[in-house]
Amino acid sequence: MTISTSHQEKDSTTKQHEMTRNKNLFVNFRFISWLNFFRFSAILACAIFLCVGNTTAQTKKSRVKKSAPKKQAVLNLPKVTQIDAEALKKLLKPNGKPLLINFWATWCEPCREEFPDLVKIGADYQDKIDLITISLDELSEINGDVPKFLAEVKSNSPAYLLKTTDEGEAIGLVAKDWQGGLPFTILFNADGETVYSKQGKFKTEFLRQQIEDLIQNGKKLNAFGRGRNDAVKDITEGKLILKTNEYLGRRRGLLMLVEERGIKFDYVCVDFEYIEGYNSISEKEIAQKFGDDFLLKITKAKFLNYPPQVIELTLTPK
Amino acid sequence: MKKLSFLAAAIFAFAAFVSFNNVSAKDGLAVGATMEDFKLVDASGATKSFNELKGKSGAVLVFLSVQCPVVKGYDERIVKLAAEYEAKGINVIGINSNATESADKVKTHAAETYKFPVLIDKGNVIADKLGANVTPEIYYLNEKNVLVYHGAIDNDRSGENVTINFLRDAVESNLSGKTVAKTSANAFGCSIKRAAKN
């Protein structure tokens, strides 16, 4: 308590000193400013001039400095290999691992936007999948904008530039349902079957899930999962995610979902939280159809695209 | 009465089947199929129908984009084709279905670049109906609104090494009563940015 009081005293004395000093400074400043206004203005002008001069000089210097690493970067640009339709055909065959291919172009803004995510995916799954990128830029950019951009995003995946006289043929080689819109991303399993493809920007989380599924199962998942044992395990752990190409609201869709998965259920309790107007299947109907293992409750369902061709469901056991 | 209700149920089931098939048709309008008339707002805000805009010998619908560099690369060729085909009774009609491009931008771009109308396909309704995915993408319809050709304009985006004029060949064959040899051709372009609907 005593210490505190003495501190308070000291504080008040210090404050008084400070106030007096500030007052003096203010008076001094006023005195100086009124008397020496022009002199100070002149000094200020000189100072500004010097500062600007310095800044300009620094900018020039930094420009010079910046240009040096650029020259260095040019030397280290990634190699981009020109391919034709024949070479493309060979590239589409996986080499013992799942294969992720991204078709892009420097002029395609969404391609540029998604590319950093692609690079990250490539790094995260480096030993588990092969990632290649195929540019549809003009051939004149093979040593220009294409490798420059790849260097910018730090892509070290094998990079190609497709040049063909028949783009339609090349597009058809890659995927039947691709119209040529960029970007286009396609994931093959190790057997060369298409697991996932997307015209337009991919959804990173969804693509990662596809890759994870593929790595864990070693082959293409059908729309309904990996079979009874895995499914039962996943359901028991409460982390089953099913993906279906069916409109879930259609009775057939949900029945197939369960049927093709190979699981027998007492019944499935359907509780769509996010799909309105499609909750058309009753517990009783499912109870009549399926067997003896689990009561499933669909707790979450959401569209992953629109029109809903892919719907993600989270199922939890009773 | 029972017969009637059975008939009604059958008609309903058939209608539902047809309707479902239309909804889920991923490929859109097939070559040889007839396109229904549609109405869209043009760049100036006026509502226009396809039938009102088409020429006496048909129309070329071209899906465009303000920003797409591939479209920019084709602009000169599209403008030239439009003038040439207009004289032949085939009107070119532009459609912009990109959700990311505002009506103002479309309006300005259309006024600066094209002499034909550019319609704004809000919610990409027509792109969905036709199955358009890329810009530029062409739908050439004859005087009866039957789809004759669908796809790319030619086989070179740069315009420097064109060896096959897909659209020109289709138009010339059709106008001279010959069978169109190539009725569709894909080419690389910009994906149409569709509106999020969920």
Q: Are B20 and B36 part of one and the same domain?
A: no
- Chain A interface, best mutation among B68, B161, B190, by max A CB count within 10 A: B190
Q: Which residue has the higher pLDDT, A145 or B15?
A: A145
A303 touches chain B (CB under 8 A): yes
Q: How far apart are CA B150 and CA B141, in angstroms?
A: 9
Separation CA A102–CA A118 (nearest Å) = 8
Residues of B in contact with A179 (CB under 8 A): 133-134, 137, 186
B34 touches chain A (CB under 8 A): no
* Residues B112 and B160 placed together within one structural domain of the fold: yes
Host domain of residue B111? 31-191
Q: Which residue of B has its CA nearest to A184?
A: B191
Pick the more confident residue, A70 or B91.
Answer: B91
Same domain, yes or no: B90 and B183: yes
B149 and B166 belong to one structural domain: yes
Closest Cα in chain A, distance from residue B103 (Å): 20
Are the beta carbons of B187 and A302 separated by less than 8 Å?
no
* B198 contacts chain A (CB < 8 A): yes
Looking at the structure, tell me whether residues B119 and B80 fall in a common domain. yes
Please check whether residue B20 lies inside any domain of the structure: yes
Query: A86 at the B interface (CB within 8 A)?
Result: no
- My answer on whether B11 and B102 are in the same domain is no
Which domains can be identified in chain A, with CATH numbers? 80-217 (3.40.30.10), 228-317 (no CATH)
Average pLDDT over chain B reads 86
- Would you state the structure tokens that stand for residue A52, as one six-digit string? 């600007």
Q: Select the residue of B67, B137, B187 nearest A167 (Cβ to Cβ).
A: B187
User: What is the predicted pLDDT for the residue at A70?
Assistant: 44
Give residue-wise pLDDT tens across range B143-182: 999 999 999 999 988 888 899 999 999 999 999 999 999 9
**Tally of helices (H runs) and strands (E runs) in chain A:** 10, 11
B27 vs B80, higher pLDDT: B80
Residues B2 and B59 in one domain: no
Residue at B196 is within a domain: no
Count of A-B CB contacts under 8 Å: 73
Contact list, A168 vs chain B (CB under 8 Å): 151-152, 155, 185-187
- Tokens standing for residue A198: 């997307």
Specify whether the CB–CB gap between B89 and B171 falls below 8 A. no
Which of residues 125 through 154 in chain A touch B, CB cutoff 8 A?
A: 136, 138
Asked if the structure places residue B51 within a domain, the reply is: yes
Strands (E), A54-144: 80-83, 99-104, 130-135
Q: What is the H or E stretch that residue A113 is in? A: helix A109-124
Quick check: A111 contacting B, CB < 8 Å? Answer: no
Quick one: tokens of A151? Answer: 């260097």
Judge: A136–B188 Cβ closer than 8 Å, yes or no. yes
What separation in angstroms does the CA of B36 have from each of A34, A296, B97, B118? Answer: 84, 45, 18, 19
* Residue A6 at interface with chain B, using a CB cutoff of 8 Å: no
pLDDT of residue A237: 56
Determine the pLDDT at residue B62. Answer: 98
B87 and B167: one domain? yes
Contact: A199, B69; criterion CB under 8 Å:
no
In this complex, is the C-beta atom of B188 within 8 Å of any C-beta atom belonging to chain A?
A: yes
Per-residue model confidence as pLDDT tens digits over B19-59: 222 222 345 899 999 999 999 999 889 999 999 999 999 99
> Touching check for A292 and chain B: CB below 8 Å?
no
Question: Does residue B84 lie in a domain region?
Answer: yes
The per-residue pLDDT for A26 is 37
B95 in any annotated domain:
yes
pTM above 0.95, yes or no: no
Show residues of chain B in contact with A107, CB under 8 Å: 69-70
Give the position of tokens 């043929």: A169
Q: What is the pLDDT of residue A213?
A: 80
pLDDT at B93: 98
Residues of B in contact with A108 (CB under 8 A): 69, 190
Which of B 58-117 lie inside 8 A of A, CB atoms? 67, 69-70
Total domain count, chain B = 2
In B, minimum Cα distance to A135 occurs at B188
Residue with tokens 């106008």: B175
Cβ contact B196:A306 at 8 Å: yes
Assess whether B93 and B47 both reside in one domain. Answer: yes
B137/A307 Cβ within 8 A:
no
Question: Which residues of A fall within a CB distance of 8 Å from B69?
Answer: 107-108
Distance from CA of A165 to the nearest CA of B (A): 7
User: Taking CB atoms and an 8 Å limit, are B191 and A200 in contact across chains?
Assistant: yes
Average pLDDT over residues B105-127: 95
Let me know: does A105 contact A74? Beta carbons within 8 Å: no
Q: Are residues B84 and B160 in the same domain?
A: yes
Alpha-carbon gap, residue A131 to A101, rounded angstroms: 6
| Co-location of B132 and B162 in the same domain | yes
> Along chain A (318 residues), what's the average pLDDT of each consecutive run of 10 residues?
34 45 39 44 45 39 38 70 96 93 96 97 94 96 96 96 91 90 93 86 89 71 39 49 39 44 35 31 41 40 38 43
Question: Chain A residue with minimal CA distance to B186?
Answer: A168
Does B178 fall in a domain?
yes
Identify the pLDDT of residue A210: 85
Determine how many CB atoms are found less than 10 A away from the CB of residue B134.
28
Classify residue B197: in a domain, yes or no: no
> Do residues B43 and B97 share a domain?
yes
Cα–Cα distance, A60 to A190 (Å, whole number): 54
Task: Give the per-residue pLDDT at A75.
Answer: 59
Q: Report yes or no on B40 lying in a domain.
A: yes
CATH of the domain at B134: 3.40.30.10
Which residue in chain A is spatially nearest to B157 when comparing CA positions?
A: A138
